[in-house]
Amino acid sequence: MPRYFIEVSYKGTRYSGFQIQQNANSIQAEVTQALKVFFKRDFELTGASRTDAGVHALQNYFHFDNDFTKELDSLKVSFKDLDLEGALYNLNALLPKDIVIKKIFPVKDNVHCRFDAINREYKYFIYQEKDPFLQDRAYYYPYKLDINKLNEAAAQIMKYEDFISFSKRNTQVKSFVCKIEKSEWYIKDNMIIYTIIANRFLRGMVKGFVGTMLRVGTNKISINEFSKIIENRDSSKVDFSSPSHGLFLNAVNYNPQLFH
């Protein structure tokens, strides 16, 4: 059966997370419902990257298997204009204002949006001067920070692969190994931004990194103590308190050859 990718972007403030859950609203639940209403059939969506409650995404993906031939004929829509008008427009009209479907496109039948992703990129945004227009999209942290120490801590992360310390408890994953490709802090437009790229992420991992590195940047712990937290595999020493609204899934990347 033909397989399709859905590219989505969303503001996660009102949602319990990306993946569908019982007794809580999610990005997956809203997209599934919009597809069902418009195409008048059930959909089973698989997600590329599970963002936690309150986390935003500039880019994330679902895939599903379905034969659209009859529906597209009746709607007088083809995949040439599916990402411009017709179905895409109507699906977005059905979705809440804080979720948008950017594109729907066919892929090879065996392409998996989660397992075939090369890496994911997250960004965490911090601002230090009060700004009402950033309060739900960045972390207001009005304390003196040493950007050099932040980057020293970020560089330490690159030296490791086992991040069980930075995983929230009660997770269902079997492996805590993540291959980090990039970890750095920089300043842009009066924002302090942390960027991290890895093949996979654990539950709460980026927020744990940020919260604990902020302790380094404010001289509450040393670089050596930060490294020991990773090595000792003890999540009780990790600061997971950085709020979700500062975190964005910036991109999910694939080998372009998968789509041709």
- The answer to the question of residue 15 being in a domain is yes
Q: Is 20 exposed, middle or buried (0-12, 13-18, 19+ CB in 10 A)?
A: middle
Last residue of a domain, one of 115, 130, 160: 115
CATH of the domain at 156: 3.30.70.660
- For residues 43 and 126, state if they share a domain: no
Task: Give pLDDT tens digits for 190-234.
Answer: 999 999 999 999 999 999 999 999 999 999 999 999 999 999 998
As beta bridge partners, residue 185 has: 194
Question: HEC profile for the chain?
Answer: CCEEEEEEEECHHHCCECCCECCECCHHHHHHHHHHHHHCCCCCCEECCCCECCCEEEEEEEEEECCCHHHHHHHCCCCCCCCCCCHHHHHHHHCCCCEEEEEEEEECCCCCCCCCCCEEEEEEEEECCCCCCCCCCCEECCCCCCHHHHHHHHHHHCCCCECHHHCCCCCCCCCCECCEEEEEEEEECCEEEEEEEECCCCCCHHHHHHHHHHHHHCCCCCHHHHHHHHHHCCHHHCCCCCCHHHEEEEEEECCHHHHC
Q: Which pair of structure tokens corresponds to residue 19?
A: 């993946």
Distances (CA, A) of 175 to 134, 163, 178, 233, 255: 36, 9, 9, 13, 24
Q: What's the pTM value of the predicted model, to 2 decimals? A: 0.91
- For residues 205 and 124, state if they share a domain: yes
Q: What is the pLDDT along the chain (260 residues), one digit of tens a residue?
A: 788 899 999 999 999 999 888 788 999 999 999 999 998 888 999 999 999 999 999 999 999 987 665 555 555 555 554 554 578 899 999 999 999 999 988 888 899 999 999 999 999 999 999 999 999 999 999 999 999 999 999 999 999 999 999 998 767 778 999 999 999 999 999 999 999 999 999 999 999 999 999 999 999 999 999 999 999 998 899 999 999 999 999 999 999 888 76
- For residues 101 and 143, state if they share a domain: no
Q: What does the alpha-carbon distance between residue 76 and residue 117 come to, in Å, rounded to a whole number?
A: 33
Last residue of a domain, one of 96, 115, 134: 115
Residue 150 and residue 216 in contact, taking contact as beta carbons nearer than 8 Å = yes
- The answer to the question of residue 258 being in a domain is no
Residue 2 and residue 106 in contact, taking contact as beta carbons nearer than 8 Å = yes
- For residues 59 and 132, state if they share a domain: no
Closest CA to 253 of 37, 2, 4, 7: 7
- The answer to the question of residue 73 being in a domain is yes
Kind of pairing, strands 119-127 and 139-140? parallel
Q: What does the alpha-carbon distance between residue 75 and residue 78 come to, in Å, rounded to a whole number?
A: 9
- For residues 63 and 129, state if they share a domain: no
Overall domain count for the chain:
2
CATH of the domain at 100: 3.30.70.580
Q: What does the alpha-carbon distance between residue 150 and residue 193 come to, in Å, rounded to a whole number?
A: 11
The residues annotated as belonging to the active site are 52
Find the domain containing 156 and state its range. 119-251
Task: Give pLDDT tens digits for 157-181.
Answer: 999 999 999 998 767 778 999 999 9
- For residues 140 and 241, state if they share a domain: yes
- For residues 51 and 149, state if they share a domain: no
The residues, any chain, with a CB within 8 Å of residue 103's CB and separated by 6 or more, are 5, 6, 7, 83, 88
- The answer to the question of residue 77 being in a domain is yes
- For residues 174 and 195, state if they share a domain: yes
- The answer to the question of residue 257 being in a domain is no
- For residues 51 and 106, state if they share a domain: yes
Q: Which pair of structure tokens corresponds to residue 128?
A: 């230090």
- For residues 196 and 216, state if they share a domain: yes
